[in-house]
Amino acid sequence: MKSTHSPIGIFDSGIGGLTVAAAIKKVLPHESFVYFGDTAHLPYGDKSPESIRHYAARIAAFLLDKKCKAIVIACNTASAHALKTVVDIAGPTIPVINVVDPVASYAASHYNDCKVGVIGTKGTIQSRIYVNRIERMNKSLKVLSNATPLLAPMIEEGFFNNSISQTVINSYLSKKSFSGIKALILGCTHYPLIKKEVESYYKKNVEIIDSASVVAQTVKQVLKEEKLLKQTSTAGKYSFYVSDYTASFEQSTKIFFREKIKLVEARIWD
């Protein structure tokens, strides 16, 4: 039985969604959450939609077993292919927040008669979910998207804020299709960690839309509307699970969550 004291469930294909978890912690410091990273199957960006739906269904069931009062799909590819699956499993009383719709709504409501760019994994870009969502909400916008498959593994290995990462980022952003854009959506939950480098490329002439911060504000609004906000000022408690534990993953979590955390292996596929 969910209550205002129940945790928020958050999941991603790996640890990139920890940027969303960190943003939620900042916006809602009294809320608890349960995080699940499907490290056994990452990255989702090159998996079939059917596989992604299968993984998401099992993870959603795991989070519901943990009595989560809401579920955040902190993965763009899973948001693109498995939202309905998670909504069906969660049922009518558990709100499900994905990372695409809040960002699409932000772009559609803040810009008119211009071009907006999107970067993300192959799976997210090939789904055209941002293009379809934003252009349906605001027909005056032209949405241009480019797959940037090297960025997520580069970030996971700690290669950012250096000359190597800036060269890779510049190569992707210099594509002709992005010429003249007014805003760029970071369509992967890894990408908030390279926001400064992207801003550096554009010399702050283009707004860089950080999905983690936008989604965190949406989570707060949804919980408020559903009367699920925690009513006490006690600090939140956090649990972190992965489907395949490695010490290197635990070490790299600090990059995304900005503090050391302990990962617990949960073999939900057995």
Per-residue pLDDT of 206-222, as tens digits, reads 999 999 999 999 999 99
pLDDT at 269 (0 to 100): 82
pLDDT at 63 (0 to 100): 98
Q: What is the pLDDT of residues 109-146, one digit of tens each?
A: 999 999 999 999 888 999 999 999 999 999 999 999 99
pLDDT at 110 (0 to 100): 97
Task: Among 28-32, 65-69, 103-107, 228-232, name the one with the lowest average pLDDT.
Answer: 228-232
Q: Do 208 and 218 have their domain in common?
A: no
Q: Do 127 and 186 have their domain in common?
A: yes
Q: Do 90 and 223 have their domain in common?
A: yes
User: Bigger pLDDT: 15 or 74?
Assistant: 74
- Of the three residues 168, 189, 212, the one that is the final residue of a domain is 212
Averaged confidence pLDDT in the chain: 94
Query: Mean pLDDT throughout 75-80?
Result: 92
Q: Do 52 and 18 have their domain in common?
A: yes
- pLDDT surpassing 80 at residue 93: yes
pLDDT at 161 (0 to 100): 82
Q: Do 35 and 93 have their domain in common?
A: yes
Q: What is the pLDDT of residues 161-204, one digit of tens each?
A: 888 899 999 999 999 999 999 999 999 999 999 999 999 999 98
Query: Structurally, how many domains does the chain consist of?
Result: 2
**Interacting residues of 88 by C-beta distance below 8 A, sequence separation 6+:** none
- pLDDT surpassing 80 at residue 225: yes
Q: Do 226 and 245 have their domain in common?
A: yes
Confidence of residue 1 (pLDDT cuts 50, 70, 90): low
pLDDT at 204 (0 to 100): 83
For residue 244, what are the domain limits?
8-98+213-265
Q: What is 205-259 written as a DSSP string?
A: SSEEEEHHHHHHHHHHHHHHHTT-S--S-SPP-EEEEESS--HHHHHHHHHHHSS
- pLDDT surpassing 70 at residue 10: yes
**Interacting residues of 85 by C-beta distance below 8 A, sequence separation 6+:** 53, 56, 57, 60
Residues with active-site annotation: 75, 188
pLDDT at 2 (0 to 100): 73
Task: Indicate whether 1 belongs to any domain.
Answer: no
Q: What is the pLDDT of residues 23-70, one digit of tens each?
A: 999 999 999 999 999 999 988 888 999 999 999 999 999 999 999 999
Task: Indicate whether 2 belongs to any domain.
Answer: no
- pLDDT surpassing 90 at residue 106: yes
Q: Do 114 and 169 have their domain in common?
A: yes
pLDDT at 159 (0 to 100): 83
**Residue 114 sits in a domain of what CATH number?**
3.40.50.1860
Task: Among 2-11, 99-108, 126-135, 148-157, name the one with the lowest average pLDDT.
Answer: 148-157
Task: Indicate whether 24 belongs to any domain.
Answer: yes
Task: Indicate whether 3 belongs to any domain.
Answer: no
- Which parts of 76-210 fold into alpha helices (H)? 76-90, 100-110, 122-127, 129-137, 151-156, 163-173, 195-202
∠ CA 181-186-189, nearest 5°, is 175
- pTM here is 0.93
